[in-house]
């Protein structure tokens, strides 16, 4: 895996952590989860910007959006007691399939 993809993976992890922290910030009324959310988003966007130096915007954003969406949905179902309905599971599958198809089909 190249440096660009490695930075993108860390950017996605930071964004997912920030989104999860936002859930616990109670509308940005709790200090520490709020600070974690802001710090996570700053790190995520800084790394995404660096990633775009080596990856095409279509590839990077498709992976960013797809993996981030699927990860946050999975975290909600596994750790936050959100329902794991067949529709949600199908949606996650379709998001991942879409990212794969964009990359195989030439989003580069």
**What is the per-residue pLDDT across 61-101, written as a single tens digit (0 to 9) for each?**
999 999 999 999 999 999 999 999 999 999 999 999 988 88
Whole-angstrom distance, CA of residue 18 vs CA of residue 42 = 9
Output the DSSP codes for the chain.
--HHHHHHHHHHHHHHHHHHHHHHTTTTTSHHHHHHHHHHHHHHHHHHHHHTTTS-HHHHHHHHHHHHHHHHHHHHHHHS-----HHHHHHHHHHHHHHHHHHHTT--
pLDDT for the residue numbered 2: 86
Q: Please provide the average confidence, as pLDDT, over all residues in the chain.
A: 93
The answer to whether residue 107 scores a pLDDT higher than 70 is no
Ramachandran quadrant class, 55 (left: phi over 0; alpha: psi -120 to 50; beta: rest)? beta
Full residue range of the structural domain in which residue 34 is found: 3-104
Number of domains in the chain: 1
CA 15 to each of CA 11, 37, 94, 101: distance values in angstroms, whole numbers, following the listed order = 6, 8, 21, 23
Over residues 38-52, mean pLDDT: 97
């Amino acid at each position: 895996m190249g440096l660009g993809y490695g930075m993108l993976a860390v950017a996605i992890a930071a964004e997912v952590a920030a989104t999860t922290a936002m859930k616990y910030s109670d509308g940005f009324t709790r200090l520490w989860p709020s600070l974690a959310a802001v710090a996570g988003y700053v790190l995520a966007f800084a790394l995404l910007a660096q990633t775009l130096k080596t990856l095409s915007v279509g590839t990077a954003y498709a992976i960013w959006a797809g993996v981030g969406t699927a990860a946050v949905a999975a975290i909600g179902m596994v750790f936050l007691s959100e329902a794991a309905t067949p529709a949600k599971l199908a949606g996650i599958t379709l998001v991942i399939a879409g990212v794969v198809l964009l990359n195989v089909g030439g989003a580069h």
